[in-house]
């Protein structure tokens, strides 16, 4: 039995709740080693350098927030988290620098605002993600927000789901562009309209996930209504709990069960746990590969607009979060949304207020009209706070964005994702340009570097990246990316996006585009 399985068997992670108060009084040194693992069930995770500070993750189902909740989140950051908040690729908010002493008050404030950290980390159902414009998108197929909430409650309220083999990720995609990336979730509900009957429902995808061995979720050829989707979500979670692999942590993901069973067997196993027959999946196609819902967009509610702003590498300060809340309150209905691209949207702004609201957001450093490269940038936490990281990510990506913006490089919609290790929290596998951190020894000095890969993407023609250049020194990355995007500007076909351009060229050609910043001959990889 691996260590985490033993810890879970001895005591459920959720049962550490009462201990948090006790540890807050007794101090960090009073926390037994095993309870550091159990604290994850309440979204509390030791942060680098393990000196008494914690990362705390707040679940925001579907990314949907009220202005009052945004203020509550900001108050915790201000008083306990050195003013930092990171938007994650699963629409959570992450704090850093919290201590066990201030944990009870931080969690109390969040709970009082209707927010929770419960099961934000650990071997449990994680935040249920969805389109940030559910319910307002003018071209959505289904308003998926109610399903997000129903699945979230169904999985959160059932203690039977609090000891899964590992993390478990659910997504609801009602948006016509399927911006929520259903293909990289353990189970995803993808809205479709039956072309013959006009009826709407959800196709079911199962077994996606990135990490070091990326898999795309596969269709099990099933179509369900909203009510049925809640039961299917629970049934798949039960299957993962009961049949998922628990011996090796590495293999303890639903994608490996799908790999071994295949979609037909998986469908049969799901069907066996349901009281209704699964119907056949409806035909479905992707329409937009790059939708991020930023900028000013008309909502389906007449006269109202959503204002999506770029949050550089997902990091907000207290002033920015409060400014966004205030704009939502003053010019909208007090509603905001976090995107899966680590950005933020203010909803329900009347047409006559769009200019004033945009100015207020711009003044807070949250540009409505952000550059292509700012919109494209996604990063994981990296070595600043992550114990598994080998490279800095957020500051490195800021360097890339600043360099490209200063050069006036505007390639249109694309994605560049940076990870501080192979685990892919920053999802480099599905980027047009993906960076994976590493280290090399050069002249006796250990230096950060990045492997550069290209050609990833979700949606139509989905693919994972493949490597084209290894061990680029971190400080050379901005220039190398600029070289590639310059080549794209020079050689692309009419209307050709970066994904198509990269796939049209051989690795050798792309390597040529990256330029001559070769790996120093005496650089030795550091394992
Ligand atoms: Fe940490 Fe690696 Fe995940 Fe980045 S990808 S947050 S470095 S585990």
Ligand 1 centroid from CA 97, angstroms: 17
pLDDT exceeds cutoff 80 at 523: no
Q: Pocket around ligand 1: residues whose beta carbon is below 6 Å from it?
A: 380-382, 386, 388-389, 419-421, 423-426
Asked whether 208 and 462 are in contact (CB, 8 A), the reply is: no
Tell me the pLDDT tens digit for each residue of 374-385: 999 999 999 999
Predicted local confidence at residue 1, as pLDDT: 84
Mutate to test the pocket of ligand 1, among 184, 342, 382, 428 (most ligand atoms within 8 A of CB): 382
Ligand 1 centroid from CA 93, angstroms: 16
Length of the chain: 527
Ligand 1 atom closest to Cα of residue 437:
7
Predicted local confidence at residue 295, as pLDDT: 97
Q: How many helices (H) and strands (E) does the chain have?
A: 15, 21
Atom 3 of ligand 1, nearest CA residue: 425
Rounded to the nearest angstrom, the gap between the alpha carbon of residue 291 and the centroid of all alpha carbons in its chain is: 15
Confidence of residue 176 (pLDDT cuts 50, 70, 90): confident
- Distance between CA atoms of residues 144 and 149, nearest Å: 9
Given the structure tokens 């680098």, which residue do they identify?
Answer: 48
Atom 2 of ligand 1, nearest CA residue: 421
Ligand 1 centroid from CA 72, angstroms: 27
Ligand 1 atom closest to Cα of residue 424:
5
What value does the mean pLDDT take over residues 45-50?
91
Residue 12 burial (CB count, 10 A): 14
* Out of 184-188, 438-442, 452-456, least confident range: 438-442
What value does the mean pLDDT take over residues 138-158?
95
């Amino acid at each position: 039995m691996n260590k985490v399985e033993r810890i879970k068997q001895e005591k459920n992670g959720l049962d550490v709740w009462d201990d948090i108060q006790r540890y807050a009084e007794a101090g960090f040194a009073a926390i037994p080693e095993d309870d550091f693992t159990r604290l994850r069930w309440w979204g509390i995770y030791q942060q680098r350098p393990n000196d008494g500070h914690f990362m705390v993750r707040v679940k925001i189902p579907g990314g949907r927030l009220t202005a009052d909740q945004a203020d509550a989140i900001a108050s915790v950051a201000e008083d306990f988290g050195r003013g930092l908040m990171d938007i994650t690729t699963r629409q959570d908010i992450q704090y850093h620098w919290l201590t066990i002493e201030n944990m009870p008050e931080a969690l109390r404030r969040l709970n009082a605002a209707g927010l929770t950290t419960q099961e934000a980390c650990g071997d449990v159902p994680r935040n249920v993600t969805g389109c940030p414009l559910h319910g307002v998108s003018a071209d959505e197929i289904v308003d998926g927000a109610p399903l997000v909430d129903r699945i979230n409650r169904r999985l959160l309220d059932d203690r039977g789901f609090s000891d899964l083999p590992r993390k478990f990720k659910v997504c609801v995609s009602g948006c016509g562009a399927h911006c929520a990336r259903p293909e990289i979730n353990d189970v995803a509900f993808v809205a479709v309209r039956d072309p013959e009957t006009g009826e709407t429902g959800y196709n079911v995808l199962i077994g996606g996930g990135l990490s070091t061995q990326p898999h795309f979720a596969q269709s099990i050829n099933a179509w369900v209504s909203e009510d049925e989707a809640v039961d299917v979500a629970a049934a798949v979670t039960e299957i993962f709990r009961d049949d998922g692999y628990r011996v090796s942590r590495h293999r303890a993901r639903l994608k490996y069960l799908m790999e071994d069973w295949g979609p037909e067997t998986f469908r049969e196993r799901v069907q066996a746990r349901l009281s209704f027959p699964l119907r056949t999946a409806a035909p479905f196609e992707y329409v937009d590969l790059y939708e991020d819902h930023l900028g000013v967009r008309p909502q389906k509610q007449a006269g109202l607009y959503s204002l999506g702003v770029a949050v550089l590498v997902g990091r907000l300060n207290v002033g920015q979060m409060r400014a966004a809340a205030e704009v939502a309150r003053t010019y909208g209905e007090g509603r905001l949304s976090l995107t899966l691209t680590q950005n933020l949207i203010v909803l329900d702004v009347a047409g006559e207020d769009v200019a004033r609201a945009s100015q207020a957001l711009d003044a807070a450093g949250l540009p409505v009209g952000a550059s292509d490269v700012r919109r494209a940038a996604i990063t994981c936490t990296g070595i600043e706070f992550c114990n598994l990281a080998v490279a800095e990510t957020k500051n490195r990506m800021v360097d890339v964005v600043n360099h490209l913006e200063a050069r006036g490089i505007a390639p249109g919609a694309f994605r560049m994702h940076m990870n501080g290790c192979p685990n892919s929290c920053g999802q480099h596998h599905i980027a047009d340009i993906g960076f994976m951190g590493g280290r090399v020894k050069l002249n006796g000095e250990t230096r950060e570097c990045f492997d550069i890969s290209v050609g990833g993407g979700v949606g139509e023609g989905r693919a994972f990246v493949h490597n084209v250049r290894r061990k680029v020194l971190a400080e050379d990355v901005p220039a190398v990316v600029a070289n590639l995007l310059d080549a794209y500007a020079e050689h692309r076909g009419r209307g050709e996006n970066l994904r198509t351009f990269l796939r049209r060229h051989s690795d050798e050609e792309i390597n040529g585009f990256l330029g001559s910043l070769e790996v120093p001959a005496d650089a030795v990889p550091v394992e």
